[in-house]
Amino acid sequence: MITVKGVLSRLTFQNPDNHYTVCKIQVPKIHEPITVVGHLAGVAQGETLTLEGKWISHPKYGDQFEAATYEVTLPATISGIRKYLGSGLIQGISKALANRIVDTFKENTLEIIENEPDKLQTIHGIGKAKQNLIEKAWNKHHAVRRVMQFLQDNQVGALHAGPILKTYGSDALNILKTDPYLLAKDIQGFGFQTADTILARNLAPFFIG
């Protein structure tokens, strides 16, 4: 497979049920953004994507990169974080508030939101209620990405991501890790053999040594 890495510059289309996505990726040293298609759950403008797949030719839309797997890298620079948070991706964070947050926490901004959200209350305009709203919105968005990454790591088809997230919501990752057989019962096409594989892969570390 071919590997492509670039920044997601525009989401053209995304099916909310199965997360089939059409987007534009800006790749270094290529002037025009390339068109990428595939099941890309939990991606957003401003994120860096590392995609593996193949080039295909669409009779109407021309050359496209069809992604089989992908990894998301959140922005690490102050300017990148400022653009990412100010995009409206996370409910409760306006562009002006994003600027105040980034001015305070600099390169550590996303780590603070992820791991120490209580510190957001040191920012003018963020009380406990606003912090809870931001924390909930952040976890909702990134829960999708975490589920997708888990499925890829366990070699489970991306098509399962949509039904899993629709069925279990924020509990999806926990159920995948602790009781994958429940998915085999509840979701059509998710077989017991797949559940066996997931359970074996995630229990293996406990039996080493």
When pLDDT is averaged across residues 76-105 and rounded to a whole number, the result is 91
Which pLDDT band, with edges at 50, 70 and 90, does 190 fall under?
confident
Question: To which residue do tokens 């550590």 refer?
Answer: 108
What does the pLDDT look like over 15-74, one tens digit per residue?
887 889 999 999 998 899 999 999 888 888 888 999 999 999 989 989 999 999 888 888
Poorest-pLDDT segment among 108-117, 123-132, 184-193: 184-193
Which pLDDT band, with edges at 50, 70 and 90, does 165 fall under?
confident
Distance of CA 191 to the CA centre of its chain: 24
Is the pLDDT at 206 greater than 70? The verdict is no
Q: Is residue 116 within 8 Å of 136, Cβ to Cβ?
A: no
Q: What is the pLDDT of residue 107?
A: 96
When pLDDT is averaged across residues 85-100 and rounded to a whole number, the result is 91
Q: Which residues contact 112 (CB under 8 A, 6 or more apart)?
A: 105, 119, 120
Is the pLDDT at 204 greater than 60? The verdict is no
Poorest-pLDDT segment among 137-141, 158-162, 170-174: 158-162
Q: Which among 120, 123, 131, 82 has a CA at the least distance from the CA of 102?
A: 82
How far is residue 16's CA from residue 38's CA, in Å, rounded to a whole number? 13
What does the pLDDT look like over 119-152, one tens digit per residue?
999 999 999 999 999 999 998 888 887 888 888 8
Which pLDDT band, with edges at 50, 70 and 90, does 203 fall under?
low
Q: pTM for the whole thing?
A: 0.72
Q: What is the pLDDT of residue 78?
A: 93
Longest CA pairwise span in the chain (Å): 56
Q: What is the pLDDT of residue 208?
A: 40
